[in-house]
């Protein structure tokens, strides 16, 4: 958090966490306008991005990449499976482990979303090197805050 000083815009403007929250909501809003016509929510899109990269992986791997818990991801997977974009199946060698894989329709969805990263980049209004630096800072914040929360 920034020092406890207020500027002309009030106390929220002094809170880094509010800036992060507001930026996240704004970018997610841009995603919504791009994903709604495809029938995807932003969290569903994130699951698909993981699968487009791996084609097939365990639910545990999806959870780790998205940094989410099972109770959040499980309904997303169920909805995407109902839409025919992925399939879930128990691994024959370990019944406790569930594998998630793209269907042909799920692979085709990737083509319909290829334009999204470029539009999001433009919407952010910052250049590539600045985006890279921002990602580095945000990952540092995430790692540090996660460690702090775990220690509490």
pLDDT category, 93, cuts 50, 70, 90? confident
Q: What is the pTM of this model?
A: 0.85
C-alpha span between 28 and 45 (Å, rounded): 11
Measured CA to CA, the distance from residue 63 to residue 46 in angstroms comes to 11
**pLDDT tens, position by position, 20-54:** 999 999 999 999 999 999 999 999 999 999 999 99
User: How many angstroms separate the CA atoms of 48 and 76, rounded?
Assistant: 10
**Alpha carbons 40 and 34: distance in angstroms, whole number:** 9
Q: Residue 8: which pLDDT band, with cuts at 50, 70 and 90?
A: low
Residue 1 has pLDDT above 50, yes or no: no
Reported as a single tens digit per residue, the pLDDT across 52-66 is 999 899 999 999 999
Mean pLDDT confidence for 61-87: 95
Listing from the earlier edge strand, what are the strands of the sheet with 94-102?
A: 56-58, 94-102, 86-91
Q: How many CB atoms lie within 10 A of CB 77?
A: 21
What share of residues in the chain are helix, strand, coil (percent, to 5)?
Answer: 70, 15, 20
Which conformational region is residue 10 in: left (phi greater than 0), alpha (psi within -120 to 50 degrees), or beta? Answer: left
CA atoms within 13 Å, Cβ hemisphere of 87: 6
* pLDDT recorded at residue 96: 84
Return the residue matching tokens 């880094």. Answer: 16
How is residue 144 written in tokens?
């540090």
């Amino acid at each position: 958090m920034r020092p406890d000083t207020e500027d002309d815009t009030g106390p929220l403007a002094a809170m880094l966490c509010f800036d992060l929250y507001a930026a996240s909501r704004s970018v997610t809003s841009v995603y919504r306008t791009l994903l709604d016509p495809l029938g995807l929510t932003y969290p569903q899109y994130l699951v698909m991005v993981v699968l487009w990269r791996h084609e097939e992986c365990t639910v545990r791997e999806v959870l780790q990449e998205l940094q989410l818990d099972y109770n959040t991801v499980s309904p997303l997977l169920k909805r995407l499976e109902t839409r025919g974009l992925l399939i879930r199946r128990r691994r024959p060698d370990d019944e406790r482990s569930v594998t998630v894989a793209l269907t042909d329709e799920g692979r085709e969805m990737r083509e319909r979303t290829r334009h999204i990263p470029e539009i999001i980049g433009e919407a952010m209004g910052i250049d590539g090197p600045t985006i890279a630096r921002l990602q580095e800072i945000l990952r540092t914040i995430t790692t540090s805050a996660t460690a702090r929360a775990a220690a509490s």
